[in-house]
Amino acid sequence: MAMAIRCFRHLPSLLYRSSFAMIRGLPQAPAGCPALPLDGCRQCVPQMLLTRQLATKKAKGKGQTQARVNISAALVEDIINLEETSEDMQAVVEALKEDFSRNLSVRTSPGVLDHIIVVTKDGKFPLNQLGQISQKSPQLLIVNMTNFPESTAAATKAIRENGMNLNPEVDGTIIRVPIPKVTREHRESLAKLAKQSTNKSKEALRKVRSKSVNQVKKFKNKVSEDTIWLLEKQIQQMADSTAAEMDKLLAAKTKELLG
């Protein structure tokens, strides 16, 4: 790892060589490289280096292209676990998918109420842990709170404030939840909620990115500035790619809701 980090110091001269030069073969070992001349660099450079490929997306300057970084996670594992960062970002996407599927659908099912969080004096619980949820008709859901009658009021409040435009009615320990007709206004309301959920997910994504960047910056006195720059750029690219995936999910869900 120490050898790999030292070799990062020579990356600028290697990275900015033409693609033609890279095709012809690896460059000679730069002066001061800790590896054996040529043979050593042929072993370390392909493993750690981080080819900058030309992206199809144009950069700020007209006619220019934006460089992309592709870092081998194994070579920087002592600095940051890029695989873990990727998994954390993907977890945000999966949570958004689940939210879309569970809470933002024009089709009614008892499951739509399952994971509404109810705040009680004993803590926070999903609604399906406190009451038995069933569907009496396509336009009516029933929540039976017989097992936890003291939480009926809290459950009613949670359903009403969940953002799904529901207006529950209480009859003892039974909560009736009329389902609004699927009007154009209701579809548009769901589409707005989908956008809000996506924005919240992007905020969660930014937190993952910031956490990873801060982890990298802890090593700014131990590795070269180029190494820090490359890692930060890699993390940003991962975040941008994940955000683009969220935008596609939102577009698909909006199309589904609005028809």
Which CATH number do you get for residue 150? Answer: 3.30.1360.40
Helix (H, G, I), strand (E, B) or coil at 46: helix
Residue 169 to residue 99: CA distance in whole angstroms:
25
Its domain, for residue 137, covers 110-178
142-162: average pLDDT: 94
Residue 250 to residue 194: CA distance in whole angstroms:
7
For residues 168 and 217, membership in a common domain is answered with no
Helix (H, G, I), strand (E, B) or coil at 52: strand
- With contact defined as beta carbons under 8 Å apart, do 45 and 7 qualify? yes
Residue 111 has pLDDT above 80, yes or no: no
For residues 92 and 205, membership in a common domain is answered with yes
- Of residues 174 and 139, more confidence is placed in 174
- With contact defined as beta carbons under 8 Å apart, do 78 and 4 qualify? no
The backbone torsions φ and ψ at residue 155, rounded to the nearest 5 degrees and listed phi first, read -65, -40
> Considering the domain boundaries, does residue 192 fall inside one?
yes
Amino acid sitting at position 96 = L
174-213 as b/e: b if 16+ CB within 10 A: ebebebeeeeeebbebbbebbeebbeebbebbeebbeebb
For residues 170 and 193, membership in a common domain is answered with no
For residues 160 and 248, membership in a common domain is answered with no
For residues 92 and 214, membership in a common domain is answered with yes
pLDDT tier at 11, thresholds 50, 70, 90: very low
For residues 100 and 225, membership in a common domain is answered with yes
For residues 99 and 121, membership in a common domain is answered with no
Residue 112 has pLDDT above 50, yes or no: yes
Total domains, the chain: 2
Four-residue CA torsion sign, 194, 195, 198, 204:
negative
Closest CA to 227 of 26, 79, 18, 27: 79
Percent of the chain topping pLDDT 70? 69
Please state whether 43 falls in left (phi above 0), alpha (psi between -120 and 50) or beta. alpha
> Considering the domain boundaries, does residue 11 fall inside one?
no
Counting every residue written for the chain, the total comes to 259
For residues 192 and 248, membership in a common domain is answered with yes
- With contact defined as beta carbons under 8 Å apart, do 145 and 130 qualify? yes
The CATH number given to whatever domain includes residue 226 is: 1.10.132.20
The backbone torsions φ and ψ at residue 144, rounded to the nearest 5 degrees and listed phi first, read -95, 115
Alpha helices in 50-183 (DSSP H): 82-103, 111-114, 127-130, 152-160
Domain closes at, from 156, 178, 200: 178
pLDDT tier at 56, thresholds 50, 70, 90: very low
